[in-house]
Amino acid sequence: MVLGADQVNLIGQVFESYVLEHHRDDILGILREADDEAHYPVVVDALTLFETNMEIGEYFNAFPSEVLTVFDSALRRAALAALQDAAAGSPHLSLKQNLHARVSGLPVCPELTREHIPKARDVGHFLSVTGTVIRTSLVKVLEFERSYICNKCKHVFAVKADFEQYYAFCRPSACLNEEGCNSSKFTCLSGATSSPACCRDYQEIKIQEQVQRLSVGSIPRCMVVALEDDLVDSCKSGDDITVYGVVMQRWKPFHEGARCDLELVLKANYVKVNNEQLSGVVIDEEVRKEFEDFWEKHRDDPLAGRNEILASLCPQVFGLYLVKLAVAMVLAGGVQRTDATGTRIRGESHLLLVGDPGTGKSQFLKYAVKITPRSVLTAGIGSTSAAAELEHDVEHVLLRAGNLLKNKFDFPFKSLTNRLGGKPKRTFWLNITFLFCVRTG
């Protein structure tokens, strides 16, 4: 079932009148921009839109991809209407063709909002998914449309890339001329002799379920999110984001004798970075006074004030004040400096905790993640090959790159043959936790 012409007209008229009423200032601000080729978003609140016409909400939930295309077309018509109304009073306005309707603010309900990675039953639905960015790819130039000319009737038609096949182009079996030419021979107008004409920015990110929202013992799952046009570079690794988009599936081209592997992908329509709300917090006078009173109280003995702070750090672990001091120093960070040669030396340090199982290493790691605005918590089972090799020498012990990760928090260590004593190699196990802190500005 697809949308009919009457339904498309209804959706376009309702959305055009809605944006002219609620987002006229946003549209005029876009029309004032100097770059006519850039992509500009208009963020629309879904609740307000659906309250205007409930039928639009039903169509949107049933056919999200088709309705979003209608929204973009209606947004361009609304921009043209706003330009004509304001042309006399504002001569510096210019029409922009690359306008995109970005839908946010979905109702908080299990059908539309997810805190976990969607599954196969969600394919084709518009959802809001919350997670942490764990990887961002490079921005690529994507060819999304090609023009072909029929060798028989010289009819020119466009073929769009198929998202579900990694943007592969599927040549039509017959000419698309409405006059009835059934020729199957075409020539691509954007071939090897000319550069692609229809391209857009493209980027893929991978999000992971937030660890604090999982049950005990659950392994966080990941999902690929496809970003296009103005959504590119809208987030960085470590950001907590909410992605609004359509759940789709994709597969690589078929090959004889090879299994077809499908994967779920979230094609993003809008990305909201949640941790930006934390970065803009302003310290009020009450907090500042509390800070000054605290250190005024411990002016004669500042170490006692430090110990009081350490006692409140990771309160579920008793004692271990030296470890708490190390964690606090890593979280507080230092000051970046530049030496005489111009090399920048970071002010943040890394922390390596080594100890027996059950001594609280993971508790410190989870506490650090909880109080850090941008953080990613990972375990050995979800990491790539990274470990260490312990070299047992006469006077010192050192760590260096070596064996593969073994279990969730268990790392194998092999002692090399002692060069002086000729002792045989010994294999033993240590339980360690890494805490890396990187300040991003």
Per-residue pLDDT at 108 exceeds 60: yes
Instruction: Give residue 387's pLDDT.
Output: 39
**Cα-trace Rg, the chain:** 29
The model's pLDDT over 134-187, given as tens digits with 9 standing for 90+, comes to 888 888 888 888 888 888 787 787 888 878 887 877 777 777 777 777 777 877
Instruction: Give residue 139's pLDDT.
Output: 85
Instruction: Give residue 89's pLDDT.
Output: 60
Instruction: Give residue 401's pLDDT.
Output: 36
Q: Which of 56-65, 186-195, 210-219, 248-257 has the highest mean pLDDT?
A: 56-65
Instruction: Give residue 257's pLDDT.
Output: 78
Angstrom CA distances, 250 to 173, 264, 267, stand at 22, 7, 11
Q: Mark residue 105 as left, alpha or beta (left: phi above 0; alpha: psi -120 to 50; beta: remaining).
A: left
Per-residue pLDDT at 293 exceeds 80: yes
The model's pLDDT over 241-258, given as tens digits with 9 standing for 90+, comes to 889 999 988 887 777 777
What's the rounded Cα separation, in Å, for the pair 40 and 374?
Answer: 27
Q: Which of 393, 380, 384, 395 is nearest to 429 (CA)?
A: 380
Instruction: Give residue 141's pLDDT.
Output: 85
What's the rounded Cα separation, in Å, for the pair 69 and 50?
Answer: 17
Q: Which two tokens mark 104? A: 């946010």
Q: Which of 58, 67, 49 is nearest to 11 (CA)?
A: 67
Instruction: Give residue 415's pLDDT.
Output: 38
What's the rounded Cα separation, in Å, for the pair 233 and 111?
Answer: 29
**Residues linked to residue 344 through DSSP beta bridges, in sequence order:** 338
Q: Which pLDDT band holds residue 380 (cuts at 50, 70, 90)?
A: low
Instruction: Give residue 375's pLDDT.
Output: 63
Q: Which pLDDT band holds residue 316 (cuts at 50, 70, 90)?
A: confident
Per-residue pLDDT at 389 exceeds 70: no
Work out whether strand 350-355 and strand 262-273 pair parallel, antiparallel, or are unpaired. unpaired
Three-state DSSP class for residue 397: strand
Among 4-13, 230-239, 417-426, which is the least confidently predicted range?
417-426
Instruction: Give residue 408's pLDDT.
Output: 35
Q: How does 28-58 read in b/e, with b if 16+ C-beta sit within 10 Å?
A: bebbeeeeeeebbbbebebeebbeebeebbe
Instruction: Give residue 357's pLDDT.
Output: 80
Specify the higher pLDDT residue, 296 or 333. Answer: 296
Q: Which pLDDT band holds residue 194 (cuts at 50, 70, 90)?
A: low
Decide if 265 contacts 224 (C-beta within 8 A). yes
Instruction: Give residue 34's pLDDT.
Output: 82
Instruction: Give residue 308's pLDDT.
Output: 82
Q: In the chain, what is the greatest distance between 2 CA atoms, to the nearest angstrom?
A: 94
Average pLDDT, the chain: 75
What's the rounded Cα separation, in Å, for the pair 150 and 160?
Answer: 16
Among 182-196, 270-284, 417-431, which is the least confidently predicted range?
417-431
What's the rounded Cα separation, in Å, for the pair 51 and 56?
Answer: 9
* Arithmetic mean of pLDDT, 302-311: 83
**What length does the chain have?**
441
What's the rounded Cα separation, in Å, for the pair 296 and 280?
Answer: 28
Decide if 245 contacts 267 (C-beta within 8 A). yes
What's the rounded Cα separation, in Å, for the pair 41 and 228?
Answer: 12
* Arithmetic mean of pLDDT, 262-286: 75
Per-residue pLDDT at 417 exceeds 70: no
Over pLDDT 90: what percentage of the chain?
A: 1
Specify the higher pLDDT residue, 184 or 399. Answer: 184
Q: What residue has token string 């012990």?
A: 397
Per-residue pLDDT at 45 exceeds 60: yes
Per-residue pLDDT at 406 exceeds 50: no
Per-residue pLDDT at 273 exceeds 70: yes
Angstrom CA distances, 140 to 231, 243, 253, 346, stand at 13, 20, 20, 30
Q: Which pLDDT band holds residue 282 (cuts at 50, 70, 90)?
A: low
Q: Which pLDDT band holds residue 409 (cuts at 50, 70, 90)?
A: very low
Per-residue pLDDT at 106 exceeds 60: yes
